[in-house]
A and B are shown apart, each in its own frame.
Chain A
């Protein structure tokens, strides 16, 4: 570096000056290429921005402060993770059923952190304003850190339990992981404004409490201090991300009145997509945590209906209304977790984690939390399944299910006004039929069918013969398609999935800890 040596130390900038140079001074109007050519993705979504300088970042974080904070957090986190490992903390959790929530998290959520890293890096590149660009780039680094700290923390469990050995490979192939994967890729393949509205606002601001609270409080209740620690380490980033989300939406809406209908459509779409994704969290809360935090229904009431309701009241001055179909989510809140757990109970032999029938005491809890639905609709099937299992005939559904074209979840959700009838919706496009689990998913398809006709639906891909390892010969004698698909997923067949009570995880847990495999 050819810095002139003056002998005088450079003047230390105030935080405000430092931030201004970073977020205004670094941007410039291009001269020998047009701004539109340098930022080609800024206009096609129809969003009009007149003055990028109106962008305000409430955190005003500078790079040196950023590195300092993050470095401190890393040191604390890894000290605790080390201690956890040395003390065999994995054996202090409630029971080995709990580990299945970590399998779901590592394979279904951590890859989304990595996706967020990629998505925010792209958004940072594509915004014309340097302030927004810097905020997106910092978040891109945060998200990479989240993916890494989660992999590092959970990797310790991988030494003792099945199902956690190849999360990225699984994420790109396994049938239920196509639900989070397609959600995130939908956002990443949209323009930069839709991406940040989807992820920063609709997910991080509106719905994130319904993802992190259940997993992190669930970890604390169930004695998993390692997971609690990475949760805390990510939480201070989350508050910055949430603020970015709110700022993005307000900024877009203040820039031009024509932006409102576009933003409202995104809020409707990404509310519904995010809500459908949270079906996995709902079943985790009500069925997979041996020590429960609160019910899904209670969490939805508190975090969406109350807090979300207040937020949308605040946004009403911009002309924004509540997301479409929030009333359907309210009607579904006493069914969502039961229907979703039923799906995984049906197909657990093809999953990377275990399922089980809740114990009698747990069913009592479910009856209390869901007085209107549990005993009437769900308890009879669980009792039947339990009886079958006692006879040595544990129920597995041997036929692949029909999937929703948009959310890609098996069509197990029921009519908004009738919990005994599957909700079927259908569209016709370019001489083909497409099927949906809900009006929310159908609306999303109908607005952009050219996008969603391309959905990689795992069931259809299996039937097309695209889910076998290279070199597999489906005409060979004794060919077993299900077994070959599970090998393509890189599952340890018979060990990663299936009934918990028959599992090696349970057997090992009892041998190694001397504690019962079912603690309650």
Chain B
């Protein structure tokens, strides 16, 4: 039983199917130990986007207001996909890196621990 409903066999419409996003898919991005940005971010991206565009442009722009942003060394960053350690191929697309619609991507920047080391 996946719902308690008056009508037998009731099913619900999945509101956030990828088809509803006009060719884009959703990607969630969270920066570990930097909670001044209160929650992970949600952005629409094309599935063909090369992973390298995230590190070259997109993520630095999203977090530009953080004083640690300019100190990120992308060669040392640790990645997690759905909370599991993950090694992206920067030259490949998000889809070819296994990041589908509503993928949850997190990154840790060793040595950077937010404002005064407070994980802010």
Binding site for B on A (CB under 8 A): 40-41, 44-46, 190-191, 194, 339, 342-343, 345-347, 376-381, 384-385, 395, 397-403, 410-412, 414, 420-422, 424, 426, 430, 432-435, 448-457, 459-460, 463-465
Is A433 a contact of B118 with CB atoms below 8 Å?
A: no
Tell me whether B36 is interfacial, beta carbon within 8 Å.
yes
A-B contact pairs, 10 of them (CB 8 A): A41-B6, A342-B38, A346-B38, A411-B39, A414-B35, A426-B104, A430-B14, A435-B102, A460-B15, A464-B21
Is B39 a contact of A380 with CB atoms below 8 Å?
A: no
**Chain B residues within 8 Å of A464, by CB:** 16, 20-22
Is A449 a contact of B2 with CB atoms below 8 Å?
A: yes
Known contacts A384-B115, A399-B43: A410-B15 contact under CB 8 Å: no
Q: How far is the CA of A379 from the CA of B36 in the complex (A)?
A: 11
Known contacts A399-B41, A426-B83, A453-B14: A433-B101 contact under CB 8 Å: yes
Task: Return the chain A residue nearest B13 by Cβ.
Answer: A454
**Chain B residues within 8 Å of A397, by CB:** 37-38, 65
**Chain A residues within 8 Å of B17, by CB:** 432
**Chain A residues within 8 Å of B35, by CB:** 342, 381, 412, 414, 420, 422
Q: How far is the CA of A456 from the CA of B106 in the complex (A)?
A: 25
Binding site for A on B (CB under 8 A): 2-6, 10-17, 20-22, 24, 26, 28, 30, 32-33, 35-44, 62, 65, 67, 82-83, 100-104, 106, 114-116, 118-120
Secondary structure call for the B interface: loop
Known contacts A190-B4, A433-B101: A463-B44 contact under CB 8 Å: yes
Is B15 a contact of A40 with CB atoms below 8 Å?
A: no
Q: A460: which of B16, B22, B114 is its contact (CB, 8 Å)?
A: B16
Is A433 a contact of B33 with CB atoms below 8 Å?
A: no
Is A463 a contact of B118 with CB atoms below 8 Å?
A: no
Is A401 a contact of B38 with CB atoms below 8 Å?
A: yes
Is A399 a contact of B104 with CB atoms below 8 Å?
A: no
Q: B16: which of A41, A412, A457, A465 is its contact (CB, 8 Å)?
A: A457
Shortest beta-carbon contacts, A-B, top 8: A450-B3, A381-B120, A420-B119, A410-B39, A380-B118, A401-B39, A402-B40, A412-B39
| Closest-CB distance, B64 to chain A (whole angstroms) | 9
Is A44 a contact of B118 with CB atoms below 8 Å?
A: no
**Chain B residues within 8 Å of A377, by CB:** 118-120
Is A424 a contact of B12 with CB atoms below 8 Å?
A: no
Q: How far is the CA of A384 from the CA of B37 in the complex (A)?
A: 13
**Chain A residues within 8 Å of B100, by CB:** 433
Q: B120: which of A45, A194, A384, A448 is its contact (CB, 8 Å)?
A: A384
Q: How far is the CA of A465 from the CA of B4 in the complex (A)?
A: 31
| Closest-CB distance, B6 to chain A (whole angstroms) | 5
| Closest-CB distance, B97 to chain A (whole angstroms) | 15
Task: Return the chain A residue nearest B118 by Cβ.
Answer: A380
Q: B39: which of A402, A433, A434 is its contact (CB, 8 Å)?
A: A402
Is B42 a contact of A459 with CB atoms below 8 Å?
A: yes
Is B3 a contact of A426 with CB atoms below 8 Å?
A: no
Is B116 a contact of A402 with CB atoms below 8 Å?
A: no
**Chain A residues within 8 Å of B10, by CB:** 450
Is B4 a contact of A422 with CB atoms below 8 Å?
A: no
